[in-house]
Amino acid sequence: MGEQAQKAGEFADGWLAGVRRVPSPNFDARPPGTAVELVVVHAISLPPDCFGGPGIEQLFTNCLDPAAHPYYAAIHALRVSAHFLIRRDGEVTQFVSVDERAWHAGASCWQGRERCNDFSVGIELEGCDSLPFEAVQYRRLADLIASLKAAYPIREVTGHEHIAPGRKTDPGPCFDWERLQALLAGRAPA
């Protein structure tokens, strides 16, 4: 199906129709025969605890200027990405096709399976450990997960903190898992 004929919420070659695309070079092929079974929710803000700037997109596209902020000097050479980013205002950006392996989870383990990047989708929420997420972010996240579940054999949604305990804390203590579950089950108002 051609991209223009796609409906919002549908995937073509792993790219979701109706969202902004900013292709990242930080991806590779999933292992042959590996199904996408897990959604990993992350939180990111660049600079830390600041929202709305270009830092996240620059990090995921290897364009982060180490002189733009003191924190960037330590991270500008990282080669990381996520499949999706949901901004504070609800804008969704896709960086990597879901059919490819984004570099978001690092050293990780889910139900005894290591290397979660192999079989997961990484969704970054613009946020931090100390502030609540926006209502629109939960709605967009639930919609995105529903679209993913319709196209891929997703079995579970988890946080980066759950697959890399002791190493990662995101999406953090301010993320409301019950709210997300209620939205996914259709029990919460949009």
Task: Please give the Cα distance from 172 to 167 (Å, whole number).
Answer: 12
Residue 18 lies in a domain: yes
The model's pTM is 0.95
Q: What pLDDT sits at residue 7?
A: 73
Residues recognised as catalytic: 124
Task: Please give the Cα distance from 173 to 129 (Å, whole number).
Answer: 6
pLDDT at 187 over 90: no
Residue 189 lies in a domain: no
Report angle CA 125, 44, 166 to the nearest 5 degrees. Answer: 110
How many domains does the chain contain in total? 1
Task: Please give the Cα distance from 125 to 141 (Å, whole number).
Answer: 8
In this structure, what token pair is assigned to residue 128? 């931090």
Task: Please give the Cα distance from 136 to 29 (Å, whole number).
Answer: 32
Residue 190 lies in a domain: no
User: What tens digit of pLDDT does each residue of 92-116 get?
Assistant: 999 999 999 999 999 999 999 999 9
Residue 121 lies in a domain: yes
Band (4; pLDDT cuts 50, 70, 90): very low
User: What tens digit of pLDDT does each residue of 63-73 get?
Assistant: 999 999 999 99
Domain harbouring 66, CATH code: 3.40.80.10
Residue 52 lies in a domain: yes
Residue 16 lies in a domain: yes
Residue 39 lies in a domain: yes
* Greater model confidence, 4 or 167: 167
Q: How far apart are the first and last CA of the chain?
A: 30
- Give the range of the structural domain holding residue 98, as residue numbers without chain letter: 3-184
